[in-house]
Amino acid sequence: MKFENNLDFAKHLDDKDELKSFRDKFYIPLVNGKESIYFTGNSLGLQPKTTQDHILNELEDWANYGVEGHFHARNPWMPYHEKFSGQLADIVGALPHEVVAMNQLTVNLHLLMVTFYRPTKQKYKIICEAKAFPSDQYALESQVTLHGFNYEDAVIEIAPRQGEYNIRTEDILSAIEAHKESLALVLFGGVNYYTGQFFDLKTITEAAHKAGVAAGFDLAHAAGNVELQLHEWEVDFACWCSYKYLNSGPGGVSGVYIHERHATNPSLPRFAGWWGYKKDSRFEMHKGFEAIPTAEGWQLSNAPVLSMAAHKASLDIFEEAGMARLRAKGKALSSYLMFILNEINEDSPEKLIEVITPANENERGCQVSMLMLKDGKRIFEALKKHGVLADWREPNVIRVAPVPLYNSFEDVSTDLAKRSNHFLKINLTLSA
Give the per-residue pLDDT at 415: 52
Whether 149 shows a pLDDT value over 70: the answer reads: yes
pLDDT band at 423 (very low <50, low <70, confident <90, very high): low
Whether 95 shows a pLDDT value over 60: the answer reads: yes
What mean pLDDT is predicted for residues 86-98?
Answer: 98
Nearest one of 402, 341, 396 to 5, comparing CA atoms: 341
Q: One-letter amino acid identity for 368?
A: V
| H or E segment to which residue 50 belongs | none
Taking residue 144's Cβ as centre, other Cβ atoms within 10 Å add up to 24
What mean pLDDT is predicted for residues 329-335?
Answer: 96
Angle of helix 134-146 versus helix 105-116 axis, rounded to 10: 40
Taking residue 290's Cβ as centre, other Cβ atoms within 10 Å add up to 15
Does the bond joining 96 to the residue before it have cis omega, within 30 degrees of 0? no
Whether 432 shows a pLDDT value over 50: the answer reads: no
pLDDT band at 25 (very low <50, low <70, confident <90, very high): very high
Give the per-residue pLDDT at 272: 96
CB 315 within 8 A of CB 214: no
DSSP 6-38: SHHHHHHHHHH-TTGGGGGGBPPPEETTEE-EE
Give the per-residue pLDDT at 422: 54
What mean pLDDT is predicted for residues 270-299?
Answer: 95
Burial class for 267, CB neighbours closer than 10 Å (0-12, 13-18, 19+): exposed
- Considering only 86-90, 107-111, 413-417, which range has the smallest mean pLDDT? 413-417
Entry field: residues in the chain: 432
Give the per-residue pLDDT at 425: 52
**CA quadruple 126, 129, 131, 137: dihedral positive or negative?**
negative
pTM of the model: 0.94
pLDDT band at 147 (very low <50, low <70, confident <90, very high): very high
pLDDT band at 345 (very low <50, low <70, confident <90, very high): confident
Span 317-326, pLDDT tens digits: 999 999 999 9
Three-state secondary-structure class, residue 289: coil
Q: Please give the domain boundaries of the chain with CATH numbers for all domains.
A: 7-47+323-431 (3.90.1150.10), 54-320 (3.40.640.10)
pLDDT band at 429 (very low <50, low <70, confident <90, very high): very low
Whether 430 shows a pLDDT value over 50: the answer reads: no
Give the per-residue pLDDT at 350: 79
What mean pLDDT is predicted for residues 276-303?
Answer: 95
Residue 387 φ/ψ region, left for φ over 0, alpha for ψ in the -120 to 50 degree band, beta for the rest: left
Q: How far is CA 35 from CA 12, 17, 20, in A?
A: 21, 20, 16
CB 332 within 8 A of CB 1: yes
Give the per-residue pLDDT at 219: 98
Span 355-382, pLDDT tens digits: 999 999 999 999 999 999 988 998 899 8
Give the per-residue pLDDT at 421: 52
pLDDT band at 104 (very low <50, low <70, confident <90, very high): very high
- 86/67 Cα distance (integer angstroms): 27
Q: What is the mean pLDDT of the chain?
A: 94
pLDDT band at 282 (very low <50, low <70, confident <90, very high): very high
DSSP assigned state of 359? S
Give the per-residue pLDDT at 344: 81
What mean pLDDT is predicted for residues 126-150?
Answer: 96
Cα torsion at 390, 391, 392, 398 (round to 10°)?
-60
Q: Using only the alpha carbons of the chain, give its radius of gyration.
A: 23
pLDDT band at 419 (very low <50, low <70, confident <90, very high): very low
- 16/209 Cα distance (integer angstroms): 43
- Give the helix ranges, DSSP H, for 128-259: 134-146, 151-154, 169-178, 201-210
For the chain, what percentages of helix, strand and coil (3-state, to nearest 5) are there?
Answer: 45, 15, 40
101 φ/ψ angles, rounded to the nearest 5 degrees:
-95, 125
Q: What percent of the chain has pLDDT above 70?
A: 96
Span 31-56, pLDDT tens digits: 989 999 999 999 999 999 999 999 99
Give the per-residue pLDDT at 346: 82
Give the per-residue pLDDT at 134: 92
Q: How far is CA 59 from CA 52, 66, 305, 314, in A?
A: 10, 10, 10, 18
37 φ/ψ angles, rounded to the nearest 5 degrees:
-95, 105
Whether 59 shows a pLDDT value over 50: the answer reads: yes
What mean pLDDT is predicted for residues 192-204?
Answer: 97
- 111/95 Cα distance (integer angstroms): 20
| H or E segment to which residue 271 belongs | none
